[in-house]
Structure 1
Amino acid sequence: MEIPQGAVVSPASGAMIDFSQPVKFKVKNGNIYKDYQVTVKAQDPILSFKINGLSATINNSGKTISLTMPEGTNLTALQPVIETGNGVSINPPSGTTLNFTSPVSFTVSNGSLTEVYTAKVTTPVSGPSVAFLGTAATRTGLTNPDEIAASDWLFGKFSGAVYVSVTDVVSGAANLNNIDVIWWHFDSATTLPADAMSQNMISKIKTYLNGGGNILLTSFAAQYVDALGIVPAGKGPNNVFGDFLPNGFIDTGSDWGISFKGYENHPVFDGLQTYESGKANLLEKGTFRLNHTSWWFLPDWGGYVNGAGWRNQTGGNNIASEAWDNTLDGRVAIAEFPGGTANKKCMVICTGAYDWYNETVNGNASQPNSFQDNIKKMTENSLNYLVTH
């Protein structure tokens, strides 16, 4: 640092300083003092990555690039248009025709510094039929804003989406034979509705699963794993809670997210924007939240002790916890059943950060959640994963 003659600065010029957070410098010259706050941000080497006008998700911490192209896209000959930062070169260069049927490595260089990014370009699973399960007679009859937002996204994303009511499943009016995945996102109450818990309904869903079907259970619907016998009796989520309007709160101090350390390469987390390897935010600080949670609390309740104990007792794989939990021994926020590596039947996403709709606060719109794309991507990945594994 260059400062006026006679002035001193602390920290001193040339000192080794951690700039991961803003740093305050105090300059003194005689009896005059002034503080300067300095923020240093590293330049991202890749600013944008587009194919046919579609923008990819660039994860600079994980060094990955992810892009989903429309169904039917020929992945063998695509030309990415890549914008890099000042002084940065990339190889293969922008505009090169490449085969993306498998991940492609890109080497970025700036002077003597080099990094390798892995780009994965995919297409949606061909024609998955997803049934959104709801308690209303029709989709337009849904009243819970979170359930409405989730179903609206599904019908805009999956051409094979249909709505199925609990009543129609119970009566037999709903034909589940051609459904690849049932998604039940229940956010209306901590207790599951009586008609969904009827033996007739449970029997119909069990028959569907035994016939090769799959189910994604999110928010309070995660509790359904117990009724369906996906886990042994009494081994469903043991920590179920949340607020309902007019209650709720704004957390201005921290983002809420998940840790999937050890499962960084799991397909469910493919393409998420992470802030470090194996960690991603789902709910931005400053947003209104109800914290609808239906997960497993491991250390003190249920006799699980840790993640290994939970896996042994439930037969599932716990693949994500709260963001602070690097060993996945504290909470089960996302899980797949059965355990092992094949024949997946069920997935649950049961963290309070999995929030599709930001409610209003005293009539004022909540701050938008800039991490909403992570929720959408993780849900899309989960549905496709159940179809293909």
Structure 2
Amino acid sequence: MRFSSRVPQRAAFAAAAVAVLLPLSACGGSGGSGGSSASGSGKIDGSITFQTWNLKTGYKSYFNNLIADFEKKYPGTHVKWVDQPADNYADKLSADASGGTLPDVVNVSPDLGAPLAKAGLALDLDSDPAAAKYKKEYLPGAWQSSQVPGLKGTYAFPWYLNTGPMFYNKALFKKAGLDPNKPPLTYEQLFSDALTMAKKSGGKVATLANVPTIEDFGRYGVKIMNSKGDGFTFNEPKGVKLLSEYVKLYKAHALDPQALTATPDSAGQKFLTQAVAMNPGSALDLGHFKTQAPSLYKNIGITPQITSTGKVNMYVMGLMVNANTKQKATSIAFAHYVTDAKNQLTFAKKAAIFPSTAGTLDDPYFTKEDGTDTARVRVAAAKSLKTAVNYTPVVFSDQMKTELGNEVAKALQGKESPQAALDAAVKSCDQLLKQS
């Protein structure tokens, strides 16, 4: 899925962030800075280090002003801002964690925060009264996104979010005898409409250009992991049902024949040439359609992500507090300050992302269109975020995604049954989980 701003693109939030589990040990870290206050003093003063992930280039003034305002609000505090490049960010976190030099407040995606939490280096916000009191300020799904299977607690303040709507081609829906004003909202509706469109077009028009990912299993209502968080369960009957339906789509050409090797760009090109009827996208795509494919642009419909749970998927960034910081009170206060409703709204308007704080999505910026393509997509996406969840387990690594993708391809090609394919994927993912 492509997004409309540089911030989401540099990580694609957890979906495309470096997901390899860091080789951490629960060594005692000194925190990123010194200071006069003890960790448990409760006094907000002293110096802390705040680390972001490739944000200085576009948002230097914003963060400098934010830090200055915090230091003014809490005299005696000093925040040192360190911004790391996107490349090798996971390796940098690993080195800092192992060397005991992890900053006091760290920008992480859920998958990068999970190994830090497992190593005892991320503060459990739920068990610390100074942090837990802020829980009600955030969207429930956003707060839960930094919870780690097998551990109790929440390990990062939710920061900015993203999600994306689905685009669909009204003209293709109408040509297939489907109501162009009633696009599919659930997977059941999607499967039915996709088969109809393939039949009506003689297999020339597919509805989708992408194979199912772990997010699709989540949105379909499949239980991804067991309650202990030590094993995957997406090979349950509902998971097999989902993959079986995709097999039907693939055989009928309702799923594009090139879906097995599709990339976001190639899928977008299929939609652009009107060979595919639905595709996720962003405001940038709308602008591209307007200039490159006017006939498509005038027939563009915007609808929420397909989901049979009633909740769409979201991508999350958070701020983790170092469990070993010497300035716990100041670190918690600053992490909350950066992620409070006022500052999240300001940042969202600058970075074209979405806030994770409860009620902020009711701001007119997220509810009223102004005639631009950007606002059109922003309003559509914001509607779904209030109840959105992160369906990708924080421990689901890139290797696991590859294993699942390989087995899905075998099922679609008829080389394995859907049950056998998912059994094999679960087995491989369980082995990778144990290795981590």
Give the structure with the larger strand fraction. Answer: 1
- TM-score calculated relative to the size of structure 2: 0.22
More helix by percentage:
2
Q: Which is bigger in relative contact order (C-alpha 8 A, separation at least 6)?
A: 2
TM-score by length of 1: 0.24
